[in-house]
Structure 1
Amino acid sequence: MENHKLPNATAVLVLGILSILTCCCYGIFGLILAIVGLYLTHKDLILYNGSPEKFMNFSQLNTGKILCIIGVVLNAISILYFIWVIKMIGLDAFQDPALLQERLQHLQDMAR
């Protein structure tokens, strides 16, 4: 019997890597990549579970799935961090440099 490759294994691996690399870009873009990667993983797992002896690159799919899960976690932490920063400083302070300086100084004084 001829072994085939799972159709989305390479795409899942690339999406997992990109989701980790883009976690510092406000978290939204990387989260979308990771979720798409997990969806493609689910589709390939259904295909693989139907006839596992037919496919040879399951380990690549599994690695991509793990990277996508790590990407979801890192991007969720990144999103929560940016929400916390906006909550602490205020969205209006990002438009006014003097107000931003004042609020940052206030946060530093509170930390002491």
Structure 2
Amino acid sequence: MEKQKLPNETLILILGIASIVTCCCWGIGLILGIITLVLAKKDSKIFYENPDLYYGLNNLKTGKTLAIIGIILSLLYIIFAVYANVVYGEEEIRRMMEEWTQQMQNQ
């Protein structure tokens, strides 16, 4: 019998990458990372029940690793954003962003 590709192998890899790319989008990377880990757990269970029937464990592990990195980066961004908002306040952050924008435009 030929080996089959794991059902969500490609999706797990894509979502793992997307969780890193969207880590600064107010929780989207966190959500994608969690979804990726859930799918990876299901596919791991399928693979380890019948390892002779499936292939693609490397992509599964890579996607899972990327999802963990994406979750960590998302959490760090959320913590930083909340901290900055508490310490500086919304108006001060806007003022600083406007200054940075003007400086970038003047260069």
- Give the TM interval when normalised to the shorter protein: 0.7 to 0.9
Cα distance in 1, alignment partners of residues 2 and 21 from structure 2: 36
Report the alpha carbon displacement of residue 87 of structure 1 after superposing the two structures with TM: 0.7
Larger radius of gyration: 1
Cα distance in 2, alignment partners of residues 75 and 36 from structure 1: 14
Cα distance in 2, alignment partners of residues 81 and 25 from structure 1: 13
Report the alpha carbon displacement of residue 56 of structure 1 after superposing the two structures with TM: 1.2
Alignment of 1:1-112 (within 5 A): 1-26=1-26, 28-91=27-90, 93=91, 100=95
Q: How many residue pairs align between the two structures?
A: 96
Which segments of 5 or more consecutive residues in structure 1 lack a partner in the other structure? 102-112
What is the RMSD of the two structures over their aligned residues, measured on CA atoms? Answer: 1.7
Cα distance in 2, alignment partners of residues 69 and 52 from structure 1: 24
> Percent identical across equivalent pairs?
40
TM-score where L is the length of structure 2 = 0.82
TM-score where L is the length of structure 1 = 0.79
Which segments of 5 or more consecutive residues in structure 2 lack a partner in the other structure? 97-107
Report the alpha carbon displacement of residue 36 of structure 1 after superposing the two structures with TM: 0.3
Segments of 4+ moved more than 3 angstroms:
none
CA deviation map 1:68-105 (0-9, x unaligned):
011111111011010111111124x26xx6xx46xxxx
Cα distance in 1, alignment partners of residues 86 and 60 from structure 2: 39
